Structure 1
Amino acid sequence: MTNVSAVLFDRDGTLVADVPYNGEPGRVRLLPGAAEAVALARSHGLATGVVSNQSGIGRGLLTTEQVLRVNRRADALLGGLDAWVFCPHAPEAGCGCRKPRPGLVLAAAARLHVAPAACVVIGDIAADVLAAHAAGARGLLVPNAVTAPEEVARFADLAAPDLPTAVRRVLDRWHRPAPEPGRRDGARPAAVARTHRPAGPAAPLAHGTPAAPAGRRSS
């Protein structure tokens, strides 16, 4: 089994409160446990990223610059993540990056220089888990009040009650840090250098993957 080296979070409804088609940085509010979860992953040497559907751009409701400003605000509140990628397309565009298709996960893995199989995607709806699986990654569900009950039931064995618990599950199940030169095995690993800043949309990839399942709006 591939050792996990990166955690990719959904944005809206997972890290930040879901404000439909938000283009205002001042409306960004972290959800409980979000900053703790990101810090926990980083403290164990895991790279961190965000993979987010932002169809407001394709629908003409948001500009790319508005999404970037919101991402920068969230990034600052979270202490800085290593990669931000988002899909700007409307659902009917048939792109390969909109979750549950694999493009965002593949793009984030490439930016982090890790294999998709070394990533875990954590999100609040089935599309997040399905995108992970489509890319060859692992997925965990952190349901919230608007997660469809059938999605919670479908992924009950992959569900965690909150983000810090989800990250601890990643660490317990799938992450074994490699000993660093000159460091005794078992000592705390060095943090991942945060070199990737909030970025633009992922490049369109393959078409034709089934649309997102019913449930909360997948942006």
Structure 2
Amino acid sequence: MGATGTLKAVLFDRDGTLVVDVPYNGEPQLVQPMEGALEALQKVRRAGLATGVVSNQSGIARGLLSLDQVMAVNHRVEQLLGMFEVWKICPHGPEDGCDCRKPAPGMILDACSALGIEPSEAAYIGDIGSDMEAAGAAGALAVLVPTHVTRPEEIEAAGIVADDLGHAVDILLSMASETRATEDAPV
């Protein structure tokens, strides 16, 4: 894992990673989990790891969505996929220059702070390059799960690429277990 060697949380991008991406979705009834998302989350939770969602929501800044609509969609995500310990959204547009909008690390840093962990104790799973950049800038482990919108250069640049969400979780849990075995080995 990171400098501390222990994975304590897995953070997820929302659209295109946990749920099917419906651009600027403000309608909870349109929320549809990605295939295998519930099972992947159940594995993470059974392993005793915290879960969180970190999501750019520029539709708010663009006047296409209200914060209430985003919150209603997030609530629907939890109804379908279970509760998350932390949610962080960026309501800003790309031109706003905030430090929370991915690829900036702000939301991941805030999520880790809210969970009481170091970024090196977290992993972030997303579907595009800005997700990987944000995780890297924060000091968290990054796993890319490509979709039809992921550009080839984003896949090439990613350190860890998984076939799907379940595979991403398996990779992280395997790495965490190897790290624990190494730490527990007699010297």
Which runs of structure 2 are paired with 1:74-85 in the superposition (5 Å)? Answer: 74-85=77-88
Cα distance, 1:150 vs. partner?
1.2
Unmatched tracts of structure 2, length 5 or more: none
Q: Are 1:108 and 2:105 matched, yes or no?
A: no
1:96 to 94, 99, 102: 99
Which runs of structure 2 are paired with 1:61-210 in the superposition (5 Å)? Answer: 61-155=64-158, 157-175=159-177
Identity across aligned pairs (percent)? 54
For the aligned residue pairs, the C-alpha RMSD in angstroms reads 1.5
Q: Which has the higher helix share?
A: 2
For normalisation by structure 1, the TM-score amounts to 0.78
Relative contact order (alpha carbons < 8 A, sep ≥ 6): 1 or 2 greater?
Answer: 1
Counterpart Cα distance in 2 of 1:152 and 1:137: 18
Deviations 1:83-135 (A, max 9, x none): 11100001100000000100010111111111111010000001111101111
Cα distance, 1:174 vs. partner?
2.9
Unmatched tracts of structure 1, length 5 or more: 179-184, 186-219
What stretches of structure 1 move > 4 A for 4+ residues in a row?
175-178
Paired amino acid for 1:107: D
Counterpart Cα distance in 1 of 2:101 and 2:85: 20
Counterpart Cα distance in 2 of 1:146 and 1:132: 19
Residue equivalent to 2:18? 15
Q: How many residues align?
A: 178
**Contact 1:102–1:135 (CA under 8 A) maintained in structure 2:** yes
Cα distance, 1:177 vs. partner?
6.5
